[in-house]
């Protein structure tokens, strides 16, 4: 089976069926921006077009972001693989990113930095946040039908201890992702906030996320609705656990952490080799009180039913955090040790909804 790096290299120009899906060839798009117009037939002055083959306003996503000053701009991105890092400044409020074909497999933003990757200027390594392929800082960001990926591989760097490799870090309030894919291994999707004092609301709907260790993590008040989480097999470990799906680091003052609903968790690993979550209490915020609710979701056999939760740091056991489940189904949701699977009551579940998380925001 091809590695993710090989697969992503082929995505924009091959019809080969891969584990990651079958992409439409870039050459099959005579209208690279589909129904979204073109530089010659611009939808409005706020819209910019990105195409690696030169048929748009810009050939890279970062160049388009740099040009999209002000608020309420839209970037329409043609099918292709954009191998670059992208940093979206906080002042691009209300920015919209659209994959033009409507299929997220066609439009891929990917790079391969890891925590332990040396910076070119010799100032040290990138660290976890710096490893992100895309860093999305603005409030009101919307993204549709795009793939965000980090294809750094442990096997290529056996000497690295910093193996976190983020596909996207999102810190803005009212950030919304629909029909997007997030590909990586460790720390794929970093749903975070700009500071401890900010409770950033984020919405992920009909998205696909894959990885192995803590691959959905961070401090945001994030709702993950109708999403597919895929845990990956590992060849560098002899036995379980291979990793954890969720690692929230919710601020102690924030009443809302991660809410997962109407979703599913599947696995390429043997049964029981993954845990559902563990709490992350970072050294920069020892007052964190991680929160995760998983409800009305299907948990596959890859989840360890006896001990579905783990502890990341001594002194901060998962039992002291805000972890709960409600009406989950599937072999991974089977309650074999009741003390290890805290359940919401029906009354409590009525408070664990997107409306409660979002308040006055309707994504």
pLDDT for 25 beyond 90: no
Instruction: State how far the alpha carbon of 81 is from the alpha carbons of 7, 67, 191, 300, 325, in Å.
Output: 11, 20, 23, 31, 38
DSSP classification of residue 177: E
Instruction: State how far the alpha carbon of 112 is from the alpha carbons of 139, 202, 280, 322, in Å.
Output: 26, 25, 24, 34
Q: How confident is the model at residue 218 (pLDDT cuts 50, 70, 90)?
A: very high
Q: How confident is the model at residue 7 (pLDDT cuts 50, 70, 90)?
A: low
Q: Which two tokens stand for residue 25?
A: 């060839």
| Residue 187: active-site member | yes
φ, ψ at 99 (rounded to 5°): -80, 120
pLDDT for 3 beyond 90: no
- 348-354 average pLDDT score: 98
pLDDT of residue 8: 52
The DSSP element (H or E) to which 243 belongs, if any, is: strand 243-248
Average pLDDT, the chain: 93
pLDDT in tens, 69-108: 999 999 999 999 999 999 999 999 999 999 999 999 999 9
Q: What secondary structure does DSSP assign to 84-113, as a single string?
A: S-EEE-TT-TT-EEEETTS-TTTEEEEE--
Q: How confident is the model at residue 30 (pLDDT cuts 50, 70, 90)?
A: confident
Q: Which two tokens stand for residue 275?
A: 């845990």
Distance separating alpha carbons of residues 333 and 327, to the nearest angstrom? 9
Q: Is there a contact between 273 and 240 (Cβ–Cβ < 8 Å)?
A: yes
pLDDT in tens, 178-211: 999 999 999 999 999 999 999 999 999 999 999 9
Select from 144, 280, 174 the least CA-distant residue to 218. 280
Choice among 22-36, 74-88, 102-116, 300-314 with the minimum mean pLDDT: 22-36
pLDDT in tens, 240-294: 999 999 999 999 999 999 999 999 999 999 999 999 999 999 999 999 999 999 9
Selected catalytic residue, list 145, 212, 214, 254: 214
Q: How confident is the model at residue 11 (pLDDT cuts 50, 70, 90)?
A: very low
Q: Which two tokens stand for residue 197?
A: 């004092």
Please count the CA atoms within 13 angstroms of the CA of 3 that sit on its side-chain side.
13
Selected catalytic residue, list 173, 187, 225, 254: 187
Residue with tokens 């072999």, as numbered in its chain: 331
Q: How confident is the model at residue 12 (pLDDT cuts 50, 70, 90)?
A: very low
Distance separating alpha carbons of residues 58 and 69, to the nearest angstrom? 14
Select from 359, 220, 228, 198 the least CA-distant residue to 297. 228
The DSSP element (H or E) to which 244 belongs, if any, is: strand 243-248
Select from 98, 169, 178 the least CA-distant residue to 137. 169
Q: Which residues lie across from 363 on neighbouring strands?
A: none
Distance separating alpha carbons of residues 201 and 179, to the nearest angstrom? 18
């Amino acid at each position: 089976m091809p590695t993710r790096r090989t697969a992503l290299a082929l995505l924009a120009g091959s019809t080969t069926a891969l584990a990651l899906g079958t992409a439409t060839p870039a050459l099959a798009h005579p209208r690279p921006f589909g129904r979204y117009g073109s530089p010659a037939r611009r939808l409005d002055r706020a819209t910019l077009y990105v195409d690696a083959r030169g048929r748009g306003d810009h050939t890279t996503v970062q160049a388009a972001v740099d040009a999209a000053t002000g608020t309420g701009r839209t970037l329409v991105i043609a099918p292709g693989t954009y191998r670059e890092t992208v940093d979206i400044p906080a002042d691009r409020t209300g920015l919209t990113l659209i994959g033009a074909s409507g299929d997220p497999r066609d439009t891929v933003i990917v790079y391969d930095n890891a925590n332990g990757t040396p910076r070119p200027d010799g100032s040290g390594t990138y660290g976890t946040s710096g490893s992100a392929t895309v860093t999305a800082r603005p409030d009101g960001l919307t993204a549709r039908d795009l793939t965000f990926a980090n294809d750094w591989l442990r096997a290529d760097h056996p000497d690295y201890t910093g193996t976190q490799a983020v596909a996207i870090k999102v810190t803005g309030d009212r950030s919304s992702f629909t029909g997007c894919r997030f590909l990586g291994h460790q720390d794929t999707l970093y749903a975070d906030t700009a500071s401890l004092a900010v409770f950033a609301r984020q919405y992920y709907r009909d998205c696909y996320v894959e990885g192995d260790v803590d691959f959905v993590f961070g401090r945001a008040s994030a709702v993950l609705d109708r999403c597919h989480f895929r845990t990956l097999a590992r060849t560098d470990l002899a036995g379980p656990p291979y990793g954890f799906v969720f690692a929230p680091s919710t601020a102690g003052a924030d009443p809302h952490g991660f809410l997962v609903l109407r979703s599913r968790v599947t696995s390429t690993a043997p049964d029981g080799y993954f845990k559902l979550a563990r709490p992350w209490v970072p050294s920069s915020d020892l007052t964190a009180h991680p929160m995760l609710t998983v409800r009305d979701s299907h948990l596959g056999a890859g989840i360890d039913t006896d001990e579905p939760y783990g502890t990341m740091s001594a002194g901060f056991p998962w039992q002291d955090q805000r972890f709960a489940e409600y009406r989950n189904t599937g072999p991974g949701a089977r309650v074999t040790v009741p003390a290890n699977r805290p359940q919401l009551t029906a009354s409590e579940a009525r408070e664990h909804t997107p409306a409660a998380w979002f308040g006055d925001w309707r994504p």
